[in-house]
Amino acid sequence: MLLSVLLLLLMVSWTEAAYTGTVFTHTAKDVQGSSFTFVRRIKLSFSSCAEGDSYLGSTNKIDESSGEWCLKEHTWKFTDQNLDYRCEWWTPPTWVNNSNGVSTFKFRIIYELKKRSDINRPNSSPQTGIIPLIRVPSNCQRDINLLTFDPDGDNVQCRYGSNPSDYECYICTAPSVLSVSSACSLSFSPTSSSNEGSYAVQLMMEDFPRWSITLTRSDGSTYSWSPSNFMTQISVQFVFKVDPAAPSCTAGEYLPRFLPPTPEHGAQFFIDLNETIEISIRAEATQSVITGIQFSGPFNMVKSSSGSGYFTLRWTPSFGQNNDDESHPVCFAVQATASSSVYQSELRCVIVTVSNIPFIVTPSPPPKTSVTPTTVALPLTTTSPPPKTSHVKVVKLKIKTSMSLKDKQDELEKAIQDQLITGGLPADIKVHLLSFGIANKTAAP
Amino acid at 78: F
Among 23-32, 49-58, 225-234, 294-303, which is the least confidently predicted range?
49-58
pLDDT of residue 38: 86
Do residues 431 and 411 make contact, with C-beta atoms less than 8 angstroms apart? Answer: no
Model-level pTM? Answer: 0.79
pLDDT of residue 426: 66
Q: Reply yes or no on whether the pLDDT at 366 is more than 90.
A: no
Percentage with pLDDT > 90 across the chain: 56
Q: Reply yes or no on whether the pLDDT at 282 is more than 90.
A: yes
Mean pLDDT of 413-419: 70
For residue 137, whether the previous peptide bond is cis, meaning omega lies within 30 degrees of 0, is no
Measured between alpha carbons, how far is 320 from 300 in angstroms, rounded to an integer?
12
pLDDT of residue 29: 81
Q: Where are the beta strands (DSSP E) in 126-221?
A: 133-137, 142-145, 155-160, 178-180, 185-188, 197-208, 213-216
Mean pLDDT of 319-338: 87
Per DSSP, the residues of 14-80 read -SS--EEEEEEEEEEEEEETTEEEEEEEEEEEESSHHHHHHHHSS-EEEEEETTTEEEEEEEEEEEE
Strand-pair category, 19-32 with 60-65: unpaired
pLDDT of residue 114: 92
Measured between alpha carbons, how far is 211 from 153 in angstroms, rounded to an integer?
11
- For residue 221, how many other CB atoms are within 10 A of its CB? 9
- Reduce the DSSP state of residue 404 to 3 states and report it: coil
Q: Reply yes or no on whether the pLDDT at 399 is more than 70.
A: no
Do residues 11 and 44 make contact, with C-beta atoms less than 8 angstroms apart? Answer: no
Q: What is the chain's mean pLDDT, rounded?
A: 82
Name the residue with higher pLDDT: 371 or 137.
137
Mean pLDDT of 399-418: 61
Q: Is the dihedral of CA 250, 240, 201, 150 positive or negative?
A: positive
Q: Reply yes or no on whether the pLDDT at 149 is more than 50.
A: yes
Query: pLDDT for 188-226, tens place per residue?
Result: 999 999 999 999 999 999 999 999 999 999 888 999 999
Nearest residue to 65 (alpha-carbon basis) of 294, 275, 257: 294
Mean pLDDT of 46-51: 88
Q: Reply yes or no on whether the pLDDT at 137 is more than 80.
A: yes
pLDDT of residue 393: 42
Name the residue with higher pLDDT: 426 or 376.
426
Task: State the DSSP code for 195.
Answer: G
Amino acid at 374: T
User: Assign residue 417 a region: left if phi > 0, alpha if psi is -120 to 50, beta otherwise?
Assistant: alpha
Q: Reply yes or no on whether the pLDDT at 434 is more than 70.
A: no
- For residue 75, how many other CB atoms are within 10 A of its CB? 17
Length of the chain: 445
Strand-pair category, 326-338 with 289-296: antiparallel
Q: Reply yes or no on whether the pLDDT at 370 is more than 80.
A: no
Do residues 159 and 233 make contact, with C-beta atoms less than 8 angstroms apart? Answer: no
Measured between alpha carbons, how far is 327 from 153 in angstroms, rounded to an integer?
13
Do residues 169 and 161 make contact, with C-beta atoms less than 8 angstroms apart? Answer: yes
Q: No. of H helices and E strands in the chain?
A: 3, 28
Domain residue extents for the chain: 1-127+144-173+199-234, 374-443
- Reduce the DSSP state of residue 85 to 3 states and report it: strand
Mean pLDDT of 413-424: 66
Do residues 129 and 329 make contact, with C-beta atoms less than 8 angstroms apart? Answer: yes
Mean pLDDT of 337-341: 96
Give residues with Cβ within 8 angstroms of 6, minimum separation 6.
none
Among 1-5, 88-92, 168-172, which is the least confidently predicted range?
1-5
- For residue 276, how many other CB atoms are within 10 A of its CB? 17
Query: pLDDT for 52-93, tens place per residue?
Result: 777 777 789 999 998 899 999 988 888 877 888 788 777 766
Nearest residue to 113 (alpha-carbon basis) of 60, 39, 178: 39
Q: Reply yes or no on whether the pLDDT at 229 is more than 80.
A: yes
Measured between alpha carbons, how far is 59 from 54 in angstroms, rounded to an integer?
9
- Reduce the DSSP state of residue 295 to 3 states and report it: strand
pLDDT band, residue 423 (cuts 50/70/90) = low
Among 283-297, 332-346, 362-376, which is the least confidently predicted range?
362-376
Q: Reply yes or no on whether the pLDDT at 152 is more than 70.
A: yes
pLDDT of residue 52: 73
Do residues 322 and 310 make contact, with C-beta atoms less than 8 angstroms apart? Answer: no
pLDDT of residue 364: 58
Measured between alpha carbons, how far is 158 from 397 in angstroms, rounded to an integer?
30
Q: HSE on the CB side for 141, CA within 13 Å? A: 1
What phi and psi values does residue 210 have, to the nearest 5 degrees?
-85, -10
Name the residue with higher pLDDT: 78 or 3.
78
Measured between alpha carbons, how far is 407 from 433 in angstroms, rounded to an integer?
13
Do residues 281 and 275 make contact, with C-beta atoms less than 8 angstroms apart? Answer: no
pLDDT of residue 32: 78
